[in-house]
Amino acid sequence: MAKSKSLGPDTMGTRFYKWLDERLALSTMAGFLSKKTVPQHKHSHWYYWGGITLTFLIVQFITGILLLIYYKPGPDAFESVRFITYELEFGWFIRGLHHWSANLMLLALFIHMFSVFFMRAYRRPREFGWWTGVLLLLITLGFAFSGYLLPFDELSYFATKIGLDVAESLPLIGPALAAIARGGTDVTYLTIQRFFTLHIIVLPLIILGILTIHLVLILKHGNASPPSEEAKPKNKRKEIKFFWDFFVKDITMWLLALNFLILVTILFPPQLGSPADPLAPAPEGIHPEWYFMSQYQFLKIFGNILPGAIGEFISIGLMACALLLWAIVPLIDNTGKAGKRAKAATYIGLLSIVILVVLTAWAYLAI
C-alpha cells in the first residue's frame, strides 16, 4: 500500500512499474542501491579508473561485433582487414576505435590496479576483488595478444611468432602449448583460426564471468578508503551518495574518456603493413606493443646473461614468481594496519612500478 502511494497517481506507467516490481523486485534493488555511498577525500578521484576501464571494455565489445561483420579469419584475414581499413565506409574508424580502446583500456587498467593497490583496497574483506582483478589483467593481456595476430600483416605475424617461440621454451608443457596455439609447427592460417576463437568466444565468456564477480563484490563491499582516511574518527569522514551524486561524476569521466578515444582515433588511425610473408626475414627493430615491452626486455637481458633455453626458462619462471607475489599481496599485508607487513606491500608496489617503467623505457631505447 505504502509503495503505491510513493509511486504517485494510478497511471498506466505506475501500473506497469508495479507489474514489473512484483516480478523483478525492482524497489528492493533500488532501495539497496540508493543506500550505496562513496567515500569522499583527497584521493577520491582514483575511484573513477575502474569505470573508465569498463567503458573501454564496452567499446571493445561493440566495435568488435561490428568488425566481425567484415573480418574473415583464415586465408582472407589480411584482405578483409585491408578492405575494412581502406575501402569500407567508416571501417577505418571502427577499426581505429577498437585498436585505441584496447590500448587505453590497458592504460586505464594499470592506473586502476596501482591506485587500488596504494589505497590498500585488497585488504580484508576485499581480497577476492583483488584476485578477480589479477585474473582480469591476465585475460585482458590475453585479448591483446590474440587480437594482435588477426590482421595477419608482417608485424603481427612476427610478433606472434616470437611470442610463441618464447612459450615453446618452457620445459615440459612449452612445446605442446606452442603447437596447440599454432596448430602445427608454424604460425599459419590455422593459428589465426585458433586465436580468433580465443579472441571472440573463449576470452569474452571468461571475462564476462569474472567481471560480474568483480563488480558484485564492489557492490557488496563498497569502495575502500585509504589508510589515511581510515585513521580518522568516523564522524570526521565524508561520503556522498553513489546515486546520483557519484554516478553523475562517473558518467562525466566516461564521456571524457570516450571523447579522448575518438580524438586519438581520428588523429592517428591505425594502418596496415604488408601481408605476412613467412619466408621473408623478420623486419628490422621488430618489437611487441608497449604493454609487453617490459617482459620482452627482461627476456632479452636474461638471454644475454644466460643464453639458450635455460635462460628463457629461468626468466619466465622469475616473471611467474613476480606475478604470484603480486597476487598474494592481500595475504602479506593482512593485519589491516601499518607495520612491517604494510611496509613490505608498499615496497612491492613501488618496486613494481619502477621495474615496469625502467624496463619499458630501456626496451624502447634499445630498439
List the one residue from 130, 158, 242, 296 that touches ligand HEM (CB under 6 A).
130
DSSP 239: E
Using rule CB under 6 A, residue 44 touches ligand HEM:
no
Does 258 bind ligand HEM (CB under 6 A)? Our answer is: no
Rounded to whole angstroms, what are the CA distances from 363 to 86, 106, 179, 299, 313? 32, 19, 28, 11, 20
Closer residue to ligand HEM, CB minimum distance, 190 or 321:
321
- Residue of 136, 144, 149, 198 interacting with ligand HEM (CB under 6 A): 136
3-class DSSP state of 37 = strand
> Is the CB of residue 137 less than 8 Å from the CB of residue 109?
yes
Rounded distance between C-alpha atoms, residue 88 and residue 234, angstroms? 59
Query: Does 203 sit near ligand HEM (CB under 6 A)?
Result: no
Q: Is 59 in the site for ligand HEM (CB under 6 A)?
A: no
Q: How many residues bind ligand HEM (CB under 6 A)?
A: 27
Candidate list 95, 99, 123, 126; residue touching ligand HEM; CB under 6 A = 126
- The answer to the question of residue 360 lying near ligand HEM (CB under 6 A) is no
User: Which region among 44-52, 68-76, 188-196, 231-239 touches ligand HEM (by CB under 6 A)?
Assistant: 44-52
What mask of x and - would describe binding to ligand HEM in positions 214 to 253, judged by CB under 6 A?
x---x----xx-----------------------------
CB of 134 to ligand HEM, least distance (A): 5
Smallest gap from residue 187 Cβ to ligand HEM (A): 27
- Cβ pair 196, 150 in contact under 8 A: yes
Q: Are residues 149 and 195 in contact, defined by beta-carbon separation less than 8 angstroms?
A: yes
- Given the rule CB under 6 A, which of 12-20, 116-124, 160-168, 175-183 is the region that contacts ligand HEM? 116-124
Grid cell listed for 265: 582515433
User: Cβ 121 to ligand HEM, closest distance in Å?
Assistant: 4
- To ligand HEM, the closest distance from the beta carbon of 309 in angstroms equals 31
Q: Which of 88, 137, 348, 356 binds ligand HEM (CB under 6 A)?
A: 137
DSSP character at residue 198 = I
The distance of closest approach from Cβ of residue 74 to ligand HEM in the complex, given in angstroms and rounded to an integer, is 29
Minimum CB separation of residue 137 from ligand HEM in Å reads 4
Q: Which stretch binds ligand HEM (CB under 6 A): 133-141, 194-202, 268-276, 290-298?
A: 133-141
C-beta neighbour count of 318 within 10 angstroms: 12
Answer yes or no: are the C-beta atoms of 166 and 299 closer than 8 Å. yes
Name which position in 59, 67, 94, 116 contacts ligand HEM (CB under 6 A): 116
Which of 81, 97, 104, 121 is close enough to bind ligand HEM by CB under 6 A?
A: 121
Minimum CB separation of residue 288 from ligand HEM in Å reads 20
Residue 79 CA to residue 82 CA, distance in Å, equals: 5
What is the C-alpha to C-alpha distance for residues 199 and 208, in angstroms, rounded to an integer?
13
How far are the Cα atoms of 26, 37, 254 from residue 248, in angstroms, in the given order?
Answer: 21, 13, 10
264 binds ligand HEM (CB under 6 A): no
C-alpha distances out from residue 171 to 9, 221, 244, 309, Å: 72, 42, 54, 9
Name the E strands within the chain: 37-40, 238-241
Longest dimension (CA), the chain: 79
The number of angstroms, rounded, from the C-alpha of 140 to the middle of its chain's C-alpha atoms is: 4
Quote the distance between the C-alpha of residue 361 and its chain's center: 21
Residue 124 or 340: the one with the smaller Cβ distance to ligand HEM is 124
Which residues sit at the interface with ligand HEM, rule CB under 6 A?
Answer: 47, 49-51, 53-54, 57, 109, 112-113, 116, 119, 121-122, 126, 129-130, 133-134, 136-137, 140, 211, 214, 218, 223-224
